[in-house]
């Protein structure tokens, strides 16, 4: 696993984790399903169900309940699944965050760091 330079801060009563570039690249590299939003987020419904993807607005594709399954198990379970055409074929996020967009964001970040 790559070295992590992530930031973890306490913001009011919430612990906030901001993944580093190495975290994101490592996650993408080690994950067979190359979808950054799905790989970085796990949504929990108001009813306590882990969602396959936040784009599943019908809540048809749940992974389990928080009362029966840890977050780690939910993520491991989701990693074993492939794309669900009903959700993934219409997703506008899956084609985002490719190398070009990632490099533009990195260049802008570096430029901002150097200038200010």
CA distance 40 to 74: 13
| CA–CA dist 86, 42 (Å, integer) | 19
Domain ranges of the chain: 1-30, 31-115
Mean pLDDT computed over 87-105: 76
pLDDT tens digits, one per residue of 33-56: 667 677 677 889 999 999 998 888
Report the sign of the C-alpha dihedral through residues 73, 84, 101, 108, in that order. negative
| DSSP summary character for residue 2 | P
Q: What DSSP string describes 3-47?
A: PP--EEEEETTEEEEE--HHHHHHHHHH-SS--HHHHH---B-TT
What is the pTM assigned to this prediction? Answer: 0.58
Reply yes or no on whether the pLDDT at 62 is more than 50: yes
Residue 26 pLDDT > 80 = no
């Amino acid at each position: 696993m790559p070295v992590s330079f992530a930031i973890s801060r306490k913001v009011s009563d919430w612990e906030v984790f901001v993944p580093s570039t190495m975290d994101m690249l490592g996650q993408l590299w080690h994950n067979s399903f190359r979808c950054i939003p799905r790989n970085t987020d796990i949504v929990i419904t108001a009813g306590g169900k882990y969602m396959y993807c936040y784009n599943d607005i019908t809540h048809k594709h749940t992974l389990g309940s928080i009362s029966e399954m840890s977050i780690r198990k939910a993520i491991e379970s989701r990693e074993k699944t492939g794309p669900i055409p009903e959700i993934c074929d219409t997703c506008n996020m899956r084609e985002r965050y490719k190398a070009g967009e990632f490099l533009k964001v990195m260049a802008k970040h570096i430029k901002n760091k150097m200038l200010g």
